[in-house]
């Protein structure tokens, strides 16, 4: 990729009195970013400090919280900087880095939810084998899988994009993504297309695996009241996370490649932002409220702080 500067088009701004609108947007997104960092950090710290929560399910939840902060930090600081200075320009290397962080985080969310689905499947369908299958070594391998696979995929994406000669300099999106960079090229994008479809297909298979796992869980839970109780307590948050992920990510991925210009740009930006706003903020709240052990420890930590 040439050492050029991209111009991002932000259509959140209203033509009339755009400066005051920028201040409103800046305040709203700053509050959102602070909330995301606070809620995810709090849940992560509680899980790390409470030995009773050092179990696979909670370790994977901690990983999900850390990943959500990682992904949010790839978007919010740059976006807030642009809103404050009214400057929508990003150097090519920063654009590639932003795309890498945001989409490796999105992929890591998917792999983490897949691992959490597997953990619940073993816990409910094969409880006698749970401790042998979900030991420290296997948990370490699964956590490595959650991170290494997305990072490798995105490194290859960045390398493939970096080799291309670009002849356009405007990205019509609120943040950089790999396909927006590819569309700026004057060269053939066949290799990038094939690789992108391969990645989308692989993660579609992971989503199918998650759905299949939960179908088996629902069938298994019919036989036991205890299993049904465990399913509602621990699996419902996973399902909410997964459905939000599927709707947001697949719309973004498919629209970026095959979308029509007839769709409102404001609607496109809203749906593109949804995966950067809703999951990082809602996931820890859902898990914190639904998982009894996490809820108890969080309330305990609040009480201890008030006593001090």
Specify the CATH number for the domain of residue 178.
Answer: 1.20.1070.10
Tell me the two tokens of residue 18.
């755009």
DSSP E strand stretches across the chain: 5-8, 89-91, 170-171
DSSP lists the bridge partners of residue 8 as 171
Measured between alpha carbons, how far is residue 258 from residues 179, 195, 252 in Å? 11, 16, 10
Q: Contacts from 162-165 at CB under 8 Å and sequence distance 24+?
A: 162/1, 162/96, 163/1, 164/1, 164/189, 164/192, 165/2
Tens digit of pLDDT at every position of the chain (308 positions): 544 455 555 545 444 445 667 788 889 899 999 999 998 998 898 888 888 888 898 899 899 999 999 999 999 998 898 888 777 778 888 888 998 999 899 889 889 988 988 888 888 778 888 888 889 999 999 999 999 999 999 999 988 888 888 777 777 778 888 887 888 888 888 888 888 888 888 888 888 888 887 777 777 776 666 666 666 766 676 777 777 777 777 777 666 666 555 666 666 777 777 778 888 888 887 776 666 777 777 777 666 655 65
Find the length of the chain.
308
What's the pTM?
0.84
Provide the residue range defining the domain that includes 209: 5-307
To the nearest 10°, the Cα dihedral for 22, 25, 27, 33?
Answer: -130
The total domain count for the chain is 1
Tell me the two tokens of residue 269.
């930006």
Dihedral over Cα of 124, 127, 129, 132: its sign: positive
Q: Which residues of 230-246 are buried (b: 16+ CB within 10 A; e: fewer)?
A: bbeebbebbbbbbebbb
């Amino acid at each position: 990729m040439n050492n050029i500067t991209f111009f991002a088009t932000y259509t959140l701004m209203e033509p009339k009195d755009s400066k005051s609108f920028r201040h409103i947007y800046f305040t709203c997104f700053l509050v959102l970013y602070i909330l995301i960092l606070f809620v995810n950090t709090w849940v992560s710290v509680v899980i790390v400090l409470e030995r009773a929560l050092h179990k696979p399910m909670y370790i994977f939840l901690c990983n999900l919280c850390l990943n959500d902060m990682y992904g949010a930090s790839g978007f919010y600081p740059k976006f807030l900087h642009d809103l404050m200075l009214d400057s929508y320009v990003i150097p090519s290397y920063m654009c590639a880095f932003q795309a890498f962080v945001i989409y490796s985080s999105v992929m890591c969310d998917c792999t983490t939810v897949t691992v959490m689905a597997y953990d619940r499947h073993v816990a409910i369908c094969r409880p006698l084998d749970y401790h042998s299958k979900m030991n420290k070594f296997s948990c370490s391998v699964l956590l490595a899988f959650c991170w290494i696979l997305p990072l490798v995929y995105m490194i290859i994406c960045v390398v493939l994009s970096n080799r291309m000669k670009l002849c356009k300099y405007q990205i019509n999106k609120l943040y950089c993504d790999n396909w927006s960079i590819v569309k700026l090229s004057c060269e053939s994008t066949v290799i990038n297309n094939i690789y992108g479809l391969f990645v989308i297909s692989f993660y579609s298979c992971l989503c199918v695996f998650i759905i299949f796992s939960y179908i088996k869980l629902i069938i298994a839970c019919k036989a036991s009241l205890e299993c049904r109780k465990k399913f509602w307590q621990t699996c419902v948050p996973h399902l909410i996370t997964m459905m939000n992920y599927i709707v947001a990510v697949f719309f973004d991925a498919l629209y970026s490649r095959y979308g029509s210009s007839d769709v409102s740009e404001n609607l496109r930006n809203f749906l593109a932002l949804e995966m950067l706003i809703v999951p990082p903020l809602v996931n820890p709240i859902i898990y914190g409220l639904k998982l009894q052990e996490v809820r108890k420890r969080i309330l305990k930590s609040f009480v201890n702080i008030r006593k001090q």
